[in-house]
Chains A and B, each alone.
Chain A
Amino acid sequence: MLCLGVETSCDETAIALVEDGRRIRSNLILSQVEKHQKFGGVVPELAARCHLEVISQLTAEGLRQAGVSPQAVDLVAATYGPGLIGGLLVGLSLAKALSLAWQVPFVGVNHVEGHIYANFLAHPELEPPLVCLTVSGGHTQLVYMPEHGVYELLGQTRDDAAGEAFDKVARVLGLGYPGGPPIDRLAQQGQPHLTLVQHDALAGTYNFSFSGLKTAVVNLVHNLKQKGEELPAADIAASFQRQVVTILADRAFRAVDEKKVQTLAVSGGVAANSQLRAFFSAEAKKRGVQFVSPPPVLCTDNAAMIAAGGYFRYLKKGPSSLALAVAPRLKLD
């Protein structure tokens, strides 16, 4: 079954064709990052306009690169939430229109469900049960997945998303947007010797809090500037990053133990962080469990993961109604 996936929930316009939820036939991503860089973040209306301008052409190009005609498509899947309303509307409307025009079923996919399915694209043998941590600019969710299409939300952030904390700390350190890659690079030149937050207030739970950590960086930078001292930016980046990774690993591996699964998956933009990958992979090895994570191109927003998630959702639950509305704050169910 060939599924066309559409992803427009934030600042990437993406189209992909995926066979049987596992094999990528084409995967196109038009990033708007440059357009948003000067604003230090995604500008929602700009994003929606950009999606609209390019999405039809991108669809045609996706079909061309996959070497198929529209008649070969069996299913159309699109993200219907969570995300920015303007962008979601563009992608969802396109998917519904194509479903009607091509007379194939349509299925709406949760964006976080898509991130989970990015792992299944990267690892063809992968099967549930597993625990998946999705960490990106807008999402921080720890999910137990006993079988395809079934999710139990174990924990999430009570303030800022993990990627958002990277973006905001990068802003304070003057590193630009998005914050993940420059902090990752800078951290490699620094020592993680600064204790930014003394204790983990949510220890023992599956929930996350990154606002206090962000504020600790803000306070430190403020104090050093007041004293006229030079900013040890690399050490700050390394210390901040180490604390984020430690908190994420604590929750994720505890869930692996409690749910007695053999596989831990990590997806979303923050999963591309080099220290996170190194730490998680060493910790998994120590415990004798499998650690999987998609390659960077499937970690950041893409439509292949939506096509994969859509395929498995369709098998489990059938098509979605064409009346399905966008849901900017959609929860995983």
Chain B
Amino acid sequence: MRIRKEPDETLMIWSDSPAETEELGKILGGILQPGDLFFLSGDLGSGKTLFVRGVTLGLASTEAATSPTFALIHRYEGKLPLYHLDLYRLSSAAELIPLDLEELCQEEAAMMIEWGEPAKEVLASTYMEVVFTRGEEEEQRVLTFHPEGERYRQINHLLGVELEKTATGK
């Protein structure tokens, strides 16, 4: 794993394998607090669900995350409850209403949303956007953490500190 901090406080992380993507999620799981909101975007097979699986491991959830594509929304119980959503099949913001996302956002839980474009406007104005893209190697993925708001700049800072610790083996 290699990291780079951009001047605009964006954090770029190169993951060299699925195992590293999962590990990164696990580290993030240790940093999450109630109310944290993440949007995950990237093509099929770019590691979004695997990353969330890592987060559930980091939160010591009772179950490791599986694909939410079919059920749209999964909730995991752990040190902190986590909602994991996949909104790929929604075609408009109106279809979000029955999911009661705004109410879920008021809960003492964290939330990670894949294909979340329709939800962005109706939810909080501060969030983290994580973009998953391909790296140069077949298994490599680049995760770019774009923070919107103070809390998310803080997460990037904490994540940088944790990753440096891991890298130097402390």
Q: Within residues 49 to 77 of chain A, which ones have a CB less than 8 A from any CB in chain B?
A: none
Q: Within residues 38 to 54 of chain B, which ones have a CB less than 8 A from any CB in chain A?
A: 43-45, 47, 49-50, 53
Which of A172, A211, A328 is B71 in contact with, Cβ under 8 Å?
Answer: A328
**How many residues of chain B are within 8 Å of chain A by beta carbon?**
28
CB-based contact A215/B45 at 8 Å: yes
* Distance in Å: Cβ of A322 to nearest Cβ of chain B: 23
Q: Within residues 263 to 316 of chain A, which ones have a CB less than 8 A from any CB in chain B?
A: none
A215 to B139, CA, bound (A): 9
CB-based contact A39/B91 at 8 Å: yes
Q: Within residues 111 to 163 of chain B, which ones have a CB less than 8 A from any CB in chain A?
A: 134, 138-139
Question: Is B33 engaged at the interface, CB distance under 8 Å to the other chain?
Answer: no
* Distance in Å: Cβ of A83 to nearest Cβ of chain B: 8
Question: Is A259 engaged at the interface, CB distance under 8 Å to the other chain?
Answer: no
Give the interface segment out of A157-165, A186-194, A229-237, A244-252: A157-165
CB-based contact A214/B44 at 8 Å: yes
Total A-B pairs in contact (CB under 8 Å)?
84
* Distance in Å: Cβ of A236 to nearest Cβ of chain B: 14
A222 to B141, CA, bound (A): 13
Given A44-B72, A164-B70, A219-B45, decide whether A159 and B53 contact each other with a Cβ distance below 8 A: yes
Which residues in B have their C-beta under 8 angstroms from that of A172?
44-45
Question: Is A137 engaged at the interface, CB distance under 8 Å to the other chain?
Answer: yes
Given A44-B98, A218-B45, decide whether A82 and B71 contact each other with a Cβ distance below 8 A: yes
Question: Is B74 engaged at the interface, CB distance under 8 Å to the other chain?
Answer: yes
Question: Is A43 engaged at the interface, CB distance under 8 Å to the other chain?
Answer: yes
Which residues in A have their C-beta under 8 angstroms from that of B90?
43-45
CB-based contact B69/A214 at 8 Å: no
* Distance in Å: Cβ of A166 to nearest Cβ of chain B: 12
Which of A44, A83, A159 is B89 in contact with, Cβ under 8 Å?
Answer: A44
CB-based contact B74/A160 at 8 Å: no
Which residues in B have their C-beta under 8 angstroms from that of A82?
71
CB-based contact A45/B94 at 8 Å: yes
A241 to B65, CA, bound (A): 25
CB-based contact B95/A44 at 8 Å: yes
* Distance in Å: Cβ of A293 to nearest Cβ of chain B: 22
Not counting A36-B89, A48-B98, a sample of 15 additional A-B residue pairs whose C-beta atoms are within 8 angstroms of each other reads A40-B89, A41-B89, A84-B72, A159-B49, A159-B50, A159-B67, A160-B67, A168-B69, A172-B45, A215-B44, A215-B47, A218-B44, A219-B45, A219-B139, A328-B73
10 smallest beta-carbon distances between A and B, as pairs = A218-B45, A138-B70, A215-B45, A45-B95, A41-B89, A160-B67, A219-B138, A43-B89, A218-B44, A159-B67
Residues of A near any B CB (own CB < 8 A): 10, 36, 39-46, 48, 82-86, 137-139, 157-161, 164, 168, 171-172, 211-212, 214-215, 217-219, 222-223, 328-329
13 interchain pairs, CB-CB under 8 A: A40-B89, A41-B88, A45-B90, A83-B71, A84-B71, A84-B72, A85-B98, A138-B70, A160-B69, A164-B70, A211-B45, A211-B50, A328-B71
